[in-house]
């Protein structure tokens, strides 16, 4: 029987203890642990890896601490444009949506694309129409807005910067450096049947131009799963993760290069992404249930649990 396991991330960036209040840190850790635990329970009851990652990412989208779903960042035009993808390692089926602003849970729309469409990726209003046809209740775009993200956009506009991913608020208490935050969320899992799956969801980058799409909805870049090798979900500088085909490169290094999970994931994050001056990380689980959570930023919100094991969560490099 497979060693069933789920891992999640809530983004990577310049996360420092100095800038994190004890209360805020506890809140992040509680949220991460609860979401890992929810995925773990699905796997423990015989649920599929696909169901576990879908539910974990849906819960991350529902939590405004993270840059996906409610709490998503603003574009330069003060709108929200969300991206998500999902991949089934058993069939290599993919579902993805990009540039949506009226779908409460983009990962559920991606799941509908995977299950109910011959296509792989829908964008914008077409994606929203498809989701509505599939029974997902639409929301108004301001459903995603939070005061923290609005302030973050104002700061970015003031400094004429484009802030990466779910760049946070400017307050000193904010756990992430305002200029270096990567707020994508994701989950990877191996189920008791030996199937792998991955899911990724994001609001993108604060102050991004409307129409800009990052790696998160692109299978092979921000998300990949193949039962023969590995399931991967990425967070970080989207353009670099696209240019390096980061998620697929982990799989390719394992399949064609005979590399271990630890070697392949370290190579992608610490060599390939780093060489192009990208920042961020990834979570990965291989077909044997090994887990890797590498990142080249100061921290990454992350957690994992084996079925029957303890829930582990971490934020900083050491814990
Ligand atoms: N990594 C998410 C993005 O760049 O949009």
Residue 162: per-residue pLDDT: 58
Most ligand 1 atoms within 8 A of CB, residue of 12, 164, 221, 280 to mutate: 164
Residue 257: per-residue pLDDT: 98
User: What order do you get walking across the sheet with 223-225 strand by strand?
Assistant: 223-225, 230-236, 280-286, 291-292
What totals of helices (H) and strands (E) does the chain contain, helices first?
9, 13
For the chain, which ranges sit under pLDDT 50? 165-180
Atom of ligand 1 nearest to the CA of 234: 1
CA dist 34 and 90 (Å) reads 27
165-188 burial: b if 16+ Cβ within 10 Å, else e: bbbbbeeeebbbbbbbbbbbbbbb
Cβ atoms of 43 and 188 within 8 Å: the answer is no
Which single residue is written with the structure tokens 């997902």?
136
* 159-163 long-range contacts, CB within 8 A, separation 24+: 161/207, 162/76, 162/205, 162/206, 162/207, 162/208, 163/73, 163/205, 163/206, 163/207
CA of 1 to the centre of ligand 1 (A): 35
CA 25 to chain centre: 20
Structure tokens at 274: 């780093």
Per-residue pLDDT tens digits for 248-298? 999 999 999 999 999 999 999 999 999 999 999 999 999 999 999 999 999
Query: Angle at the Cα of 137 (from 209 to 186), degrees rounded to 5?
Result: 55
The separation between the first and the last C-alpha atoms of the chain, rounded to the nearest angstrom, is 30
Q: Is the CB of 203 under 6 A from ligand 1?
A: no
CA of 208 to the centre of ligand 1 (A): 10
CA 109 to chain centre: 15
Residue 20: per-residue pLDDT: 86
Q: Is the CB of 186 under 6 A from ligand 1?
A: no
Most ligand 1 atoms within 8 A of CB, residue of 163, 180, 184 to mutate: 184
Residue 169: per-residue pLDDT: 35
Per-residue pLDDT tens digits for 64-94? 999 999 999 999 999 999 999 999 999 999 9
Residue 149 has phi, psi (to 5 degrees) of -70, -35
Name the catalytic one among 75, 91, 137, 184. Answer: 184
CA of 45 to the centre of ligand 1 (A): 33
Alpha helices in the chain (DSSP H): 22-44, 49-62, 106-116, 124-133, 147-158, 238-243, 246-257, 261-266, 274-275
Q: Is the CB of 39 under 6 A from ligand 1?
A: no
Cα separations in angstroms, 120 against 94, 226, 288: 6, 16, 28
Active site residue 237: no
Q: Is the CB of 200 under 6 A from ligand 1?
A: no
CA dist 165 and 144 (Å) reads 15
CA of 83 to the centre of ligand 1 (A): 9
CA of 242 to the centre of ligand 1 (A): 9
Q: Is the CB of 10 under 6 A from ligand 1?
A: no
Q: Is the CB of 81 under 6 A from ligand 1?
A: no
Structure tokens at 94: 């993919």
Most ligand 1 atoms within 8 A of CB, residue of 72, 186, 202, 234 to mutate: 202
CA of 181 to the centre of ligand 1 (A): 10
Query: Angle at the Cα of 97 (from 94 to 101), degrees rounded to 5?
Result: 160
Shortest-distance Cα residue to atom 1 of ligand 1: 238
């Amino acid at each position: 029987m497979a060693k069933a396991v789920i891992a999640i991330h809530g983004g990577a960036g310049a996360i420092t203890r100095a800038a994190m209040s004890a209360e805020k840190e506890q809140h992040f850790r509680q949220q991460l642990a609860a979401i890992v635990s929810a995925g773990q329970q699905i796997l423990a009851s015989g649920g599929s890896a696909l169901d576990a990652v879908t539910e974990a990412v849906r819960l991350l989208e529902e939590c405004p601490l993270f840059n996906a779903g409610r709490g998503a960042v603003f574009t330069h035009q003060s709108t929200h444009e969300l991206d998500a993808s999902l991949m089934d390692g058993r069939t290599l089926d993919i579902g993805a949506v990009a540039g949506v602003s009226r779908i409460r849970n983009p990962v559920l729309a991606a799941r509908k694309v995977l299950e109910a469409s011959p296509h792989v990726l829908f964008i914008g209003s077409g994606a929203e129409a498809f989701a509505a046809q599939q029974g997902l209740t639409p929301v108004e775009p301001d459903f995603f807005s939070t005061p923290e993200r609005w302030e973050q956009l104002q700061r970015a506009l003031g400094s004429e910067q484009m802030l990466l991913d779910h760049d946070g608020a400017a307050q000193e208490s904010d756990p992430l450096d305002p200029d270096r935050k990567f707020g994508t969320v994701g989950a990877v899992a191996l189920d008791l049947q030996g199937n792998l799956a991955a899911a990724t969801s994001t609001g993108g980058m604060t102050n991004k131009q409307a129409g800009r799409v990052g790696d998160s909805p692109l299978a092979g870049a921000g998300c990949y799963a193949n039962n023969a090798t590995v399931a991967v979900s990425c967070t970080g500088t989207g353009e670099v993760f696209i240019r390096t085909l980061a998620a697929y490169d982990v799989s390719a290094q394992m399949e064609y290069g005979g590399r271990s999970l630890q070697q392949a994931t370290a190579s992608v994050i610490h060599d390939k992404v780093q060489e192009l001056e990208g920042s961020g990380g990834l979570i990965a689980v291989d077909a044997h249930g090994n887990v890797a959570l590498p990142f080249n930023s100061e921290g990454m919100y992350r957690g994992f649990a084996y079925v029957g094991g303890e829930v582990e969560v971490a934020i900083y490099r050491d814990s």
